[in-house]
């Protein structure tokens, strides 16, 4: 089973290609280049080698003995994407797309970033291939992810602050799209999540599928069976779709996407698109969108910059409607507490994004005796130390 309709980039009714005409032909060209690269053994071989030797794949599947014992229910495993070079799963997609950009003869790469993980991964692969790199980042996100801004600059990228709108990921994507509209001839837009116009949701998903493919083999080796549930945080949803995909045909495996519940249920206080949104179009794709009664895109809030976005990736919308995956929300407080618990019991400090997935697994584990859970630990928490310090003041004396 696959959720995708490749021909027109649709997942059921979702996805598509809703962009100004200027970008339509370049997207067709990108789709064509991607389809050719996907069939090209030398492209795949080079990507595999980079993922292994440069990024650090395969990543381990780690059994969390102390956390499982403390919760007293499910046996909890973590897929350790946090161990990858640059600290998150984002590098998987960046390596794939930078090879594609080189193949297409583009000499300049642009990207948006929320938490900064995708920006850092993009800056990294551009340094690796000697390409010019420009990263757009909301000014609010630059403030809360200062360390990543510096990392990108150290890697030779230019970071451009975006001061319009909510000054977060949404506005960074808008500004990156304006750059792309202007410089499309020599520029590749290295979109960081399973969002945007076709072919991005399919292409990014494909570059992240390796997470689930490895996980499937690893859990079969460790437990001799498939897991009962898999948890992943969902902003745009690339780490989630990456780990879910290898299990879509396994009806007994519950797939749980965790959105940002933020600080409350009112529009503007969270980024829980399935709970509070309705289908709409933003940044080229049709999916669940947080919007007001007049179709204006709503403000969002999350302690985690990487989940703080108004539209969910379109394949998740389709998995949701089909009932193949379920989507829940974890609040800022729940994510922070889960991060603290994981740090104390396992010596793992997760990125705030991944902490949302941890929170949902922690909530369900005590009642899940004899069950096997897998959490995609999509990133590590180094970048979030300022926020953890601010939120755990009692430790910072």
- The catalytically annotated residue of 4, 31, 81, 112 is 112
Closest CA to 101 of 215, 207, 219: 207
Kindly state the smallest distance separating residue 311's Cβ from another protein, in Å: 10
Closest CA to 377 of 359, 389, 392: 359
Nearer Cβ to another protein (176/372): 176
112 is catalytic: yes
Kindly state the smallest distance separating residue 166's Cβ from another protein, in Å: 9
Binding site for another protein (CB under 8 A): 8, 16-26, 28, 164-165, 170-171, 174, 177-178, 181-185, 280-284, 289, 291, 293-297
Long-range contacts of 126-130 (CB under 8 A, 24+ apart): 126/98, 126/155, 126/156, 126/157, 127/155, 127/156, 127/157, 128/54, 128/98, 129/98, 129/102
Please state, in angstroms and rounded to a whole number, the distance separating the CA atoms of residues 99 and 206.
14
68 is catalytic: no
Residue 291 DSSP class: B
Kindly state the smallest distance separating residue 135's Cβ from another protein, in Å: 17
- The catalytically annotated residue of 90, 106, 170, 383 is 90
- The catalytically annotated residue of 166, 193, 287, 378 is 378
Please identify which residue in the block is written with the tokens 């498939």: 226
Nearer Cβ to another protein (215/291): 291
Closest CA to 270 of 290, 254, 288, 251: 290
Nearer Cβ to another protein (1/8): 8
Element (H, E) at 23: helix 21-39
Kindly state the smallest distance separating residue 72's Cβ from another protein, in Å: 46
Give the strand pairing for 325-331 and 187-189.
unpaired
Nearer Cβ to another protein (20/130): 20
Instruction: State the catalytic residues.
Output: 90, 112, 378
């Amino acid at each position: 089973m696959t959720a995708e309709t490749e021909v027109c980039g649709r997942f059921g009714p979702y996805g598509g290609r809703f962009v100004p005409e200027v970008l339509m032909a370049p997207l067709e060209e990108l789709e064509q280049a991607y389809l050719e690269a996907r069939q090209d053994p030398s492209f795949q071989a080079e990507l595999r080698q980079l993922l292994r030797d440069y990024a650090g794949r395969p990543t381990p599947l780690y059994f969390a003995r102390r956390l499982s014992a403390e919760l007293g229910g499910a046996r909890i495993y973590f897929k350790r994407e946090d161990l990858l070079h640059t600290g998150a799963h984002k590098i998987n997609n960046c390596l794939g797309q930078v090879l594609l950009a080189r193949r297409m003869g583009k000499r300049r790469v642009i990207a948006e970033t929320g938490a900064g993980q995708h920006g850092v991964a993009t800056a990294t692969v551009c340094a690796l291939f000697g390409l010019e790199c420009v990263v757009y980042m909301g000014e609010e996100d630059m403030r809360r992810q200062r360390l990543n801004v510096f990392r990108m600059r150290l890697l030779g990228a230019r970071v451009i602050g975006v001061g319009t709108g909510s000054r977060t990921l949404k506005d960074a994507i808008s500004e990156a799209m304006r750059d792309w509209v202007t410089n499309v001839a020599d520029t590749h837009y290295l979109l960081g999540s399973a969002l945007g116009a076709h072919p991005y949701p399919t292409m990014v998903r494909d570059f992240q599928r390796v997470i689930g493919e490895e996980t499937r083999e690893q859990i079969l080796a460790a437990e001799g069976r498939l897991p009962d549930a898999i948890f992943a945080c969902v902003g745009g949803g690339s780490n989630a779709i990456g780990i879910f995909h290898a299990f879509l045909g396994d009806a007994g495996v519950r797939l749980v996407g965790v959105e940002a519940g933020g600080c409350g249920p009112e529009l503007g206080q969270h980024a829980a698109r399935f709970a509070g949104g309705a289908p709409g179009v933003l940044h080229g794709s049709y999916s669940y969108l947080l919007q007001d009664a007049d179709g204006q895109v709503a403000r969002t809030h999350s302690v985690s910059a990487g989940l703080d976005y108004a539209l969910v990736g379109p394949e998740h919308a389709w998995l949701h409607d089909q009932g193949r995956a379920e989507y829940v929300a974890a609040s800022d407080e729940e994510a922070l507490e889960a991060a603290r618990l994981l740090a104390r019991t396992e010596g793992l400090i997760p990125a705030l994004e991944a902490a949302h997935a941890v929170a949902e697994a922690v909530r369900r584990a005590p009642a899940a005796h004899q069950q096997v859970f897998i959490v995609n630990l999509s990133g590590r928490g180094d970048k979030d130390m300022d926020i953890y310090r601010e939120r755990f003041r009692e430790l910072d004396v």
